[in-house]
Amino acid sequence: MSEAKFTKGPWNQESTGDGKRICIGLGMFDGPNGYDVAEVYSDDVTEETCVEAQANAHLIAAAPELYEALDGLIGVTDRPSAPDYVRDAIRAAHAALAKARGEA
């Protein structure tokens, strides 16, 4: 298993004020060349797309903490004696972490 190479969290999130973009990791100097980690767009602003864009931004901003929590849980629960549903969840967690590391 390789180590994740993403920008360390926590990632802040900030609206640009124009109602069209939400920046994640804005001004993080340890980010890629000092740029934002990500931006979420909702150019055709309606109440529904604004709520969805904000929810997407929350999920992206939580990614470093979610990664660390999932990685920590796998180490605690990855046992052969675990019930099938736990082992299925662990397999899904391994797959998600591999995807986050760019291995899948």
Q: What is d(CA 48, CA 85) in angstroms, rounded to the nearest whole number?
A: 35
**In tens digits, what is the pLDDT along the chain, a chain of 104 residues?**
456 678 788 888 888 777 678 888 876 655 556 677 888 877 666 666 677 888 888 899 999 999 888 888 887 666 777 788 888 888 898 899 888 888 87
Domain boundaries, the chain: 13-61, 64-99
Beta bridge partners of 41: 21
Residue 26, pLDDT score: 75
Residue 40, pLDDT score: 84
CB 90 within 8 A of CB 78: yes
Residue 32, pLDDT score: 55
Model pTM score: 0.72
